Structure 1
Amino acid sequence: MKTAEFDKAFDAGEDVTDAIDWSRARRRNDQLKRVNVDFPAWVVDALDKQARHLGVTRQSLIKLWIAERLQ
């Protein structure tokens, strides 16, 4: 399937999953890059409390919140 055909089918809401070679699929800009951020103790405590409430790790919570804000 050519790109134009794929885009047209996708935009029309058709199921295009059979046209995708999932073994070759890659996420763009998915390379991890480590950063260090210093927070006051009260922020870390509040993050830990919220993370426990949601059943996730502090790191996951921070990543989620930052990603949501950037979108």
Structure 2
Amino acid sequence: MFGKYLIILLLAMQLPACTLGVKPWQRDLLAKPQMALDSQPIQNSYNEHIYFSKEASSGGKGFGGGGCGCN
């Protein structure tokens, strides 16, 4: 019984560590290109255009036109 409460207490003590914000001197590490969600935006734009052209659909990814690729 004591062990159960001890484990719960230890887990509860660890939760505030997850709520800390990013310090100003740590932001440079998070701003690197490798950390971006889209590290190659131009290449991904071309790939999406080709994909939606081959699928004969217009994609909702920011360009209009039909499936022929003649936007």
TM-score range, shorter chain: under 0.3
TM-score with structure 2 setting the length: 0.21
Q: Which protein has the larger Cα radius of gyration, Structure 1 or Structure 2?
A: 2
